[in-house]
Amino acid sequence: MGFGGGSPLVSETSKQANAIAKALEKITGEKWEGNITMTCGYPDIRKLNRDFLVPTKQNILLPLYPHFSRSTVLSTAKLVEQTIKFCPVSYEGWVAPFHSSQVYLESIRDLILDFFQNRLNRKDFLHSDSFQGVSNWETIDLIFSAHGIPIRLIEKGDRYREEINSNVENLKRLLYEKGFRGKCHTSFQSRVGPSKWTEPNTITMLEQLGKNGVKRVAVYPISFVSDHLETLEEIGEQLKKIAYNNGIAEYHRIPAPGIYPKFIEAMAKIGLESIQSSKNECICKKLGGHFPNLKSGECPINF
């Protein structure tokens, strides 16, 4: 498997931005433009013009993180703040983590079911040549693999793990309503460094399932919204080998949503919801991470 010397993340995110803009135009009848920026890599958020980073009714900022973490949503907000000189998270046009949104949940449920039943448009996904219908999909073991974070963040109050678990429970409920009866598991991948991270690791999960005699597994990257090295290479290749080496005979990589039409429509609707009214609360503090005013100990946002 090759990626031409780099990750497809930027090109895939650009596709999403353009697709969401078109979905917004369809819903509102107005002209929208989709632009992207990265906190790590290019185009660098630190070099973006201020006008692109101020959330308003006409300028929606959509961090593509379904779940809150200090390491993702909060760090993104602080980078935006460096440019615009105020924290954006409670203003119209800033999209909060959307893991509990019903339209988002239903889009992911349908993505998984369409994958199982071989109904996805392969042109919408990378490395889709490996896609195939899953026989007896109703009873396959389903692993929801999330990007791990250091435990020290959880100990500081970060609710990321809690939101992952809630997301899994909501998806399980929706899948079971549609006939799925397989066992669902939650695990974490992409650990870096020697410190303790969220567990169980997806490697450990696959080893344990194989040891327990499980023969059929599908893996969905629950914290990712587009395919890149951590889904295509880590889940698609590395974890597949581990599964086979531990006696699992059938292994499926379910793609991240990317430009799956129902997901794109959900993102457009969630974006529009963000401009209906300001949140009037410190979202970061509520979700387990914020940088308060050092003198007062309170969030510096004036409501």
CB 104 within 8 A of CB 266: yes
Considering its fold, how many domains does the chain have in total? Answer: 2
**Burial label, 297 (beta-carbon count in 10 A; 0-12, 13-18, 19+):** exposed
- Please tell me whether residues 131 and 236 are part of one structural domain: yes
- Domain assignment present for residue 235? The answer is yes
Residue 300 pLDDT > 60: no
Angle in degrees, CA 118, 120, 123, rounded to 5: 125
Stronger pLDDT, 230 or 287, i.e. the higher one: 230
| Low-confidence winner among 11-15, 83-87, 185-189, 224-228 (lowest mean pLDDT) | 83-87
- Residue 239: its pLDDT value, please? 99
Q: How many residues does the chain have?
A: 303
Give yes or no: residues 126 and 214 share one domain: yes
My answer on whether 158 and 269 are in the same domain is: no
Beta strands 250-253 and 216-220 are parallel
Q: Is the pTM of this model over 0.85?
A: yes
**Quick one: pLDDT at residue 6?**
65
CB 114 within 8 A of CB 175: no
pLDDT tens digits, one per residue of 221-280 = 999 999 999 999 999 999 999 999 999 999 999 999 999 999 999 999 999 999 986 666
Q: Is residue 103 part of a domain?
A: no
When pLDDT is cut at 50, 70 and 90, the band that residue 123 belongs to is very high
User: Do 69 and 171 sit in the same domain of this protein?
Assistant: no
User: Would residue 281 count as lying in a domain?
Assistant: yes
State phi, psi for 84 to the nearest 5 degrees: -95, -10
What single string gives the DSSP state of each residue in 36-74? --BSSSSSBGGGS-HHHHS-BTTB-B----SS--IIIII
**Looking at this protein, which amino acid is placed at residue 120?**
L
Residue 42 backbone phi and psi in degrees, to 5: -125, 140
The DSSP-derived string for 138-177 is: GGSEEEEEEE--BHHHHHTT--HHHHHHHHHHHHHHHHHH
Beta bridge partner(s), residue 251: 217
End position of a domain, from candidates 209, 233, 253: 253
Task: Report the pLDDT averaged over residues 28-37.
Answer: 97
CA distance 214 to 207: 10
Q: Are residues 218 and 272 in the same domain?
A: no
Q: Are residues 43 and 164 in the same domain?
A: no
Hunting for tokens 């039409």 — which residue is that?
A: 261
* 76: amino acid identity, one letter: T
Which residue shows structure tokens 């949940």?
105
Q: Say which residue the tokens 């596709």 belong to.
A: 15
Interatomic CA distance for residues 121 and 125, integer angstroms = 8
Same domain, 130 and 42: no
Residues 6+ away with beta carbon under 8 Å from 276: 92
- Both 91 and 188 in a single domain? no
Distance CA 134, CA 259 (A): 22
As a whole number of angstroms, the distance between CA 201 and CA 207 comes to 10
Work out whether strand 216-220 and strand 141-147 pair parallel, antiparallel, or are unpaired.
parallel
Give the separation between CA 135 and CA 67, rounded to whole angstroms: 32
277 and 197 part of one domain: no
Q: How does residue 194 score in pLDDT terms, banded at 50, 70 and 90?
A: confident
Residue 110 falls inside a structural domain: no
| Residues above pLDDT 70, as percent of the chain | 89
Residue 282 is predicted with a pLDDT of 67
Range of the domain at 36: 9-98+262-286
* 294/300 Cα distance (integer angstroms): 9
User: Is 80 exceeded by the pLDDT of residue 290?
Assistant: no
Partner residues linked to 61 by β-bridges? 94
